[in-house]
Structure 1
Amino acid sequence: MQKHGYFLGIDVGTQSLKIGIYNHAGKKFYQDQQPYPTYFDHAGCAEQDAEDWWAALLTIMNRAKSEVDLNQIAALAVCATSSTVLLTDTNGRPLRRAVCWMDQRATPQEESINSVEDAHVQDILQYAGGKVSGEWMTAKSIWFKEQGLLTKGRYLFEQLDWFNFRLTGKRVASKCNASCKWNYIEGKDGFSPLFFEKIGFHDYTAYWPSEVVKVGGKIAGLTDHAAAQLGLKKATPVYQGGIDAHVGMIGSNAISKGKMSLITGTSFVHLIHHHEPVFQPGLWGPYQAPLVDGHWLLEGGQLSCGSLISWFFKEFEEGVKTNGKFNQLIAECQDISPGSEGLVMLDSWQGNRTPYRNPHASGGLIGLTLAHSKYHIFRAILESTAYGTKHVIETFQKGGITVDRIVAGGGGTKNELWMQIISDVTGISIETTTDTETGARGAAIIAAYGAGYFTNLFTAADQMVHISKTYSPNRTMTIRYQDYYQLYLELNRTLFPVMKELRHLSPI
C-alpha cells in the first residue's frame, strides 16, 4: 500500500458537523465545522432536521476544495451522535424531524422495557448495565411504534446509518452503535428475536438495517451522485465508523487498558476498555467488542456539560461567545476560590446517566447569596461537571477498573481552567491531544486502518494521535474539593425525589 493520500473524517455532532483531513502520519491538512439548529419545542423534546446535517457537509466540502486537493482523499469514515433516530421512506427521505439522543419522550418506553420480568430479557439487559435508556435506539424505536409512526414502507435510521446511506446507497448498522445502544450482543448471536418479542418490538427487522458492519469494515464506495456533490472521486471507499464519543476514544488514543477517554462536548462520555466483561451497577455495558475485537467496553456519562456553558452564554451574555468575552470570564473565575465561595451546582439538568440512570433528575444551584455574581455561577458549572466525572470514575473503581490517567478530547479541552478543575477534583492527570476534534480524527484513523494503511487500530492511533498538554492535579486543591464533592453527592440523593415531583407537575 503506497503511503500517500488523505483520509477524511466526518463527525456529525449535536451542535455542528465537523470534518478533518489527515495523512497517515496524523498531520492535519484541513479542519472545519458548520453549525445547525436543534429544536426544543417543549420540555423533554429535542429534534433536528436531517437535511440540515447534509447541507452542513456540502457547505464544508465546498469550502475545503479551495484549500485541499480533494482528489487525494483515499478513504473516509463517519461518526455521529447516538441515538439520534430518523424516520424515512424506503428511499431514505426524511418523513419528520429526527429525534435527538437527548430527547426524553421515550422515558415511558425505557421504564416499560426495564420492568419486564423475564429471565431472557434480564440476561440481555445485563450487557447494557442492567437497563436500557430512553436515549437509546431500542426505546426510541418503540416510542415511534406506539405513536403510530411505523408502517409498511418506512425505515428507522440512526444518524450515522443515514449518512452512510446517503454516501453509499447501502443501509447498514454499525457494530459500535448496535452493541452499545441497540441490545446487540455478538456472543449471543447478535440481535435476539425473543428479547424483542418480549419487550414489544417483535417486528424490529422490518424497520432496522439487517446488516451489521464492524468498525473499519468497508461499507461500499461513494455513489456517483454523492461523489459529485462532495467533490470527491467516484467510488471513494467508505469505512464503517461509530458513535462520535466512542470514535473519539480512537481519536485520542485512549483505547489501551487503564486509559479513560473523556469526551468533552455537549455531554461528557467516559469510556474505558477491559479484557473481560465487568458487570458494575451504574455503568453502561459491558459491551462486547464494539470498537476492537477482544476488548470489552464500559461507559459512563453526564448528559449536561458543554450545554450548560451554552446556556450560560445565552442567558448571561446575550448568546454571544467571543474570545474576548470568554477570556474575561475565565480570568474572573480563576480568582474565585475552589467551591465557588459556597456554591454547589447539580449537573443533571437533562437527567442523570451515571450512576443513577435517572431521567427525572434536573439541575440545582445551592448556596446562592447576594454576594455571588455570574462568575461564581460559571465556575460552579465547571465544578459541577468535575464532580460528576469524579462520581463516574468512582463507579468504575467499584467494579475493579483502574483509571491510571484521563485522555480528554472534544471542544471542552480548549477551556484550560475546566481541565485543571477536573484534574484537581478527581486527583488524576489529564492529557489532551493536539487536535480537540477527536471524533473527526478518530474517523480518519478508522478510514486509514480500513484502507489497509495499518494492521490494527492501536498502531493507527499511536501514529496518528499526538499529546499536546498534561494537567496534573494540585493535591491541596483535591483535598479542598473533597468536602464540596461530598455535599454534591448528598444533594443528589436528597433532591432527586423533589425533582421527580417537579417533573410530574410539569410533564413532558
Structure 2
Amino acid sequence: MTTYSLGVDIGTFESKGVLVDESGAIVAQAARPHQMIVPQAGWAEHRPDEDWWGDFVHITKALLAGSGVDPKAIKAVATSAIGPCMLPVDADGAPLMNGVLYGVDTRAAKEIDDLNAELGEDAILEHSGNALTSQAVGPKILWFKRNHPELWAKTHKILTATSYLTFKLTDRFVIDHYTAPNSAPLYDIKAQTWSDALGSAICSLDMMPELMWSTEIAGTVTAKAAAETGLAEGTPVTCGTIDAAAEAVSVGTLDAGDMMMMYGSTIFIITVTESQLSDPRLWHAPWLFEGEYAAMAGLATSGTLTHWFRDQFAKELSKEEAFPVLAAEAANSPPGAKGLLCLPYFSGERTPIHDPMAKGAVFGLDLTHTRGDLYRAVIEGIAMGTRHVTETYAEAGQVPKRLLAVGGGTKNELWLQATSDLTGLDQIVCSVTTGASYGNAFLARLALGEVTKDDLPSWNPAARTVKAGRHEAYEAQYPLFKALYEQTKDIAHRLGDKA
C-alpha cells in the first residue's frame, strides 16, 4: 500500500499543505489565505485559532477530500509556521491574545533597550548567541507582562505558531532547538537549554515549552484533533519548526556551506555552518540536526513590499494580472531604474542594520519616471538589501558553496536576476518550489527513519541556475544605497518619534 506524509506550513499571508508519497511525489496540494493584522504602526498579529489552527484544519480536510487518500495511510505529520512568534496561552492551551509576529512586529523596542541596558549587549550575545532585535521573543514576553498584567496572571505557557499547532494536534507543549534561540535571552546556546541566567526578570522557565529536535516525534494525533481534522487518531506528529528551516530542507540546504534564500513575504537566509558563529549582525541557532549549526539573516519587507506596491499603484488591475503587467513594465526600465534608489525598510529593517525605526524611501524621482521604473527600483532595493546581508556573511567568513533559492518570489525572474547580479552569486532553483510544506513532508519521513538526508536530491533535483552578471549601474548605485540609509536614518527616527 502506498503511504504518505503530510506537511503543512503557516505563512504570513497564506498557509499551504501537501500530501507526498514515499518517492517524494506530491499527490495533493491545498492553500488558504489569511490577513496579517496591523492594529497600529509597528504591530503585526495573527489570530491563532482562525489563521493558524483554522488553516491547518481547512487544508488537511481539503487534501484528504481532493486526494481520496485514506487517513490511515498517512504515516506522519510535520508542521512549520512563521516565526518566531509570541503567543501566551492559559492552562487549557487557550490563547490569551492574538499571536505577535516575528521581526516585522517592533512593539518591544523599549523592552529591547531596557534589557540591553540591564544585562549588557555583549553578555546577551555570549549567552544566547543572538543580539536582542525585533526578532527576539524575550522582549515581547516582557512587553506582554508589562502591558497586560491581568492576562499575564493567567498565562501558563508562551508558545510559537508551530508550538500551538503541535499542541492542538498532540496536547503537548514543545518547541524545537532551532526555534528556541529566538527566545533570547532565555536560551543558553552553548548548553542548548532554557536558562534564567539572564532572563529571570522576564518569566519563569516553566512557562517555556519542552525542548526537542525538529525530527523527533512529539506525540500522536489525539481523538479531539482527529475529529476536527479528519486525520487518523494516533498518527505521529513531529516537533515542527520555523517555516524558513522547512523551506531550506525542501531544496536540500542540509550541509555546511549550503545557503538557502527564501523569497517570501520577507527575504530569509539560512547558512549551515560547521561550528557555532557569534556575530551580532546575524542570528544563530543549532541546526535541525544535533551537532550542526546555522547562521540566519532576514529582511523585514520583501514580498510584502511588492504586494504593497501592487495594491497602491496597480489598482486598475486584478491581483492575478497585476504582477505580470508590472514585470513587463519594469523590463522596459534599465538596470538602475533610471537613477532611482529604494530603501526597502517599510517595516523597519532586520539584518544587518537591526533598525526597527528605519523607513522606506524612493529617492531620485523626476517627472520622467514611470510606474515600471518605480517597480524596478523596489525590486532592486530589495536586492541591494540582500547584498548587504551576503556581504555580512562574507565578513563573518561564510561565503556559500552553493545558494539554493526557494519561495513564491522565485517566479519573479526580474527579482531573481537582480539578486544574482547584485550579490555576484549564482542561484540554484529546484524542480519543486512548493517550499516549507514540502520540506515538512520530508522531515516527517526523516523522523520515522524512512529516509536520510542523502535522499533529498532524488526528491527534489535542481531544475535551473540563475547566473550572476554585473551591471555598472548596480556597482555605482550600491554604495549610494548604503549612504542613503546612513545619511537619512536620523530623519527617519525623528519622523518615527512624531508618528
Q: If the length of structure 1 is used for normalisation, what is the TM-score?
A: 0.92
Give 1:263-274 correspondences, 5 Å limit: 263-274=262-273
Does 2:162 correspond to 1:163? Answer: no
Q: Kindly indicate whether the alpha-carbon contact (under 8 Å) linking 2:430 and 2:464 is maintained by their aligned counterparts in 1.
A: yes
CA distance in 1, matches of 2:86, 2:351: 22
Residue 44 of structure 1 corresponds to 42
Q: Kindly indicate whether the alpha-carbon contact (under 8 Å) linking 1:251 and 1:445 is maintained by their aligned counterparts in 2.
A: yes
Residue 145 of structure 1 corresponds to 145
Does 2:399 correspond to 1:402? Answer: yes
CA distance in 1, matches of 2:82, 2:155: 25
Aligned counterpart in structure 1 of residue 381 of structure 2, from 378, 381, 384: 384
Question: Which runs of 4 or more aligned residues in structure 1 lie more than 4 Å from their structure 2 counterparts after TM superposition?
Answer: 127-130
Does 2:73 correspond to 1:78? Answer: no
CA distance in 2, matches of 1:434, 1:26: 12
SS at structure 2 position matched to 1:8? strand
Report the CA distance shift for 1:107/1:413 in structure 2 as closer, same or farther (over 3 A): same
CA distance in 2, matches of 1:129, 1:395: 16
CA distance in 1, matches of 2:302, 2:140: 23
Residue 90 of structure 1 corresponds to 91
Q: Kindly indicate whether the alpha-carbon contact (under 8 Å) linking 1:313 and 1:321 is maintained by their aligned counterparts in 2.
A: no
CA distance in 2, matches of 1:397, 1:493: 21
Aligned counterpart in structure 1 of residue 14 of structure 2, from 16, 20, 39: 16
Aligned counterpart in structure 1 of residue 474 of structure 2, from 470, 477, 481: 481
Deviations 1:283-326 (A, max 9, x none): 122x2x23122222111110010000110121112286544332
Q: Kindly indicate whether the alpha-carbon contact (under 8 Å) linking 1:129 and 1:283 is maintained by their aligned counterparts in 2.
A: no
Aligned counterpart in structure 2 of residue 443 of structure 1, from 430, 440, 447: 440
Give 1:101-120 correspondences, 5 Å limit: 101=102, 102-117=104-119
CA distance in 2, matches of 1:342, 1:204: 53
Report the CA distance shift for 1:231/1:333 in structure 2 as closer, same or farther (over 3 A): same
Superposed CA RMSD in Å reads 1.9
Partner AA of 1:452 in structure 2:
G
Residue 185 of structure 1 corresponds to 188
Does 2:136 correspond to 1:136? Answer: yes
Unaligned segments of structure 1, at least 5 residues: none
Residue 197 of structure 2 corresponds to 194
Q: Kindly indicate whether the alpha-carbon contact (under 8 Å) linking 2:214 and 2:240 is maintained by their aligned counterparts in 1.
A: yes
Aligned counterpart in structure 2 of residue 35 of structure 1, from 19, 25, 33: 33
Identity across matched positions, percent = 27
Residue 414 of structure 1 corresponds to 411
CA distance in 2, matches of 1:408, 1:115: 38
Q: Kindly indicate whether the alpha-carbon contact (under 8 Å) linking 1:179 and 1:290 is maintained by their aligned counterparts in 2.
A: no
Report the CA distance shift for 1:112/1:290 in structure 2 as closer, same or farther (over 3 A): farther
Partner AA of 1:114 in structure 2:
N
CA distance in 2, matches of 1:206, 1:74: 32
Deviations 1:55-83 (A, max 9, x none): 22222223222322042211011111112
Report the CA distance shift for 1:265/1:127 in structure 2 as closer, same or farther (over 3 A): farther
Q: Kindly indicate whether the alpha-carbon contact (under 8 Å) linking 2:262 and 2:269 is maintained by their aligned counterparts in 1.
A: yes
Report the CA distance shift for 1:186/1:353 in structure 2 as closer, same or farther (over 3 A): closer
CA distance in 2, matches of 1:261, 1:176: 15
Q: If the length of structure 2 is used for normalisation, what is the TM-score?
A: 0.94
Residue 101 of structure 2 corresponds to 100
Report the CA distance shift for 1:152/1:94 in structure 2 as closer, same or farther (over 3 A): closer
Deviations 1:345-365 (A, max 9, x none): 001111121111111111011
Q: Kindly indicate whether the alpha-carbon contact (under 8 Å) linking 1:74 and 1:236 is maintained by their aligned counterparts in 2.
A: yes
Give 1:82-481 correspondences, 5 Å limit: 82-101=83-102, 102-117=104-119, 122-126=122-126, 128=128, 131-147=131-147, 148=149, 149-183=151-185, 184-185=187-188, 187-188=190-191, 190-197=193-200, 200-201=201-202, 203-209=203-209, 211-285=210-284, 287=285, 289-318=286-315, 321-454=318-451, 456=452, 458-475=453-470, 477=471, 479-481=472-474
CA distance in 2, matches of 1:105, 1:319: 34
SS at structure 1 position matched to 2:409? helix
CA distance in 1, matches of 2:204, 2:308: 37
Partner AA of 2:33 in structure 1:
P
Partner AA of 2:42 in structure 1:
G
SS at structure 1 position matched to 2:193? coil
Report the CA distance shift for 1:123/1:99 in structure 2 as closer, same or farther (over 3 A): same
Partner AA of 2:198 in structure 1:
F
Structure 1 position 114, deviation (Å): 2.0
Deviations 1:252-285 (A, max 9, x none): 1122222211011111111101111222341122
SS at structure 2 position matched to 1:65? helix
Unaligned segments of structure 2, at least 5 residues: none
Partner AA of 1:369 in structure 2:
D
Residue 496 of structure 1 corresponds to 489
Structure 1 position 206, deviation (Å): 4.3
Q: Kindly indicate whether the alpha-carbon contact (under 8 Å) linking 1:170 and 1:220 is maintained by their aligned counterparts in 2.
A: yes
